[in-house]
């Protein structure tokens, strides 16, 4: 079983697997949206914790930037009627801390908004995952009531509409600093995407 990979991304599609070059061998790895950006080091090399999913007709690799995300993925696929693609969709839509908060609050509405999760599956997630997920830590999401400028809000909205999680978008926008208020939105979007990965 493959448990960890370190290498450079050869190809990456927004809604598909990436191909990771590890010592001259290309591994096709399914990752949550934005995971490659979170896993990339300053040298451009990414490290992924891998879950190897073996079926009768396929062997699929699922990669995550942290052990916590891989553990959460494994908890999700242990739930009846939640397969690897659905679990990956959950982790693409919600960070582990956001998922923990939704589970702790029994927020069926939020869970049901995830593609592939209906009301019954949302109820099952809450039932099965209560007290099993890491406690909801702090993330870079803006606090309720915190003032957000129009320029910053437009950029955050553009990034989340492209499929990035709110916390990822917020980190990228924060990384741009005071430029957000002065530069054109097109330039800001390019720079934010570069920061994400």
Three-state SS for 109-165 is HHHHCCCCCCHHHHHHHHHHHCCCCCCCCCCCCCCCCCCCCHHHHHHHHHHHHCCCC
Statement: the pTM of the whole predicted model exceeds 0.85: no
Dihedral sign, CA of 139, 69, 16, 13?
A: positive
The pLDDT profile of the chain, 197 residues, written as one tens digit per residue, is 788 999 999 888 766 789 999 999 999 999 988 888 778 877 888 999 999 998 888 899 999 999 999 999 999 999 988 999 999 999 988 889 889 999 999 999 889 888 888 899 999 999 999 888 876 543 434 433 344 567 777 777 777 767 677 777 777 888 888 777 777 777 888 888 888 76
Residues 186/170, Cβ–Cβ less than 8 Å: no
């Amino acid at each position: 079983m493959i448990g960890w990979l370190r290498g450079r991304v050869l190809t990456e599609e927004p809604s598909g697997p990436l191909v990771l070059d590890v010592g001259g061998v290309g591994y096709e790895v399914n990752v949550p949206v934005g995971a490659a950006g979170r896993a990339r080091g300053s040298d451009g090399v990414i490290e992924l914790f891998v879950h190897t999913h073996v079926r009768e007709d396929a062997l699929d690799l699922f990669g995550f930037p942290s052990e916590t995300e891989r553990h959460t993925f494994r908890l999700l696929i242990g739930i009846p009627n939640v397969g690897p693609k659905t679990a990956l969709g959950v982790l693409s839509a919600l960070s582990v801390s956001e998922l923990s908060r939704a589970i702790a609050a029994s927020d069926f509405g939020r869970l049901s908004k995830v593609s592939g999760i209906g009301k019954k599956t949302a109820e099952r997630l809450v039932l099965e995952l209560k007290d099993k997920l890491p406690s909801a830590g702090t993330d870079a999401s803006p606090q309720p009531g915190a003032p957000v400028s129009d320029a910053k809000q437009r950029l955050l909205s553009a990034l989340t509409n492209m499929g990035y999680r709110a916390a990822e978008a917020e980190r990228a926008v924060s990384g741009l600093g005071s430029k957000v208020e002065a530069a054109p939105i097109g330039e800001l979007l390019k720079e934010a995407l570069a920061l994400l990965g």
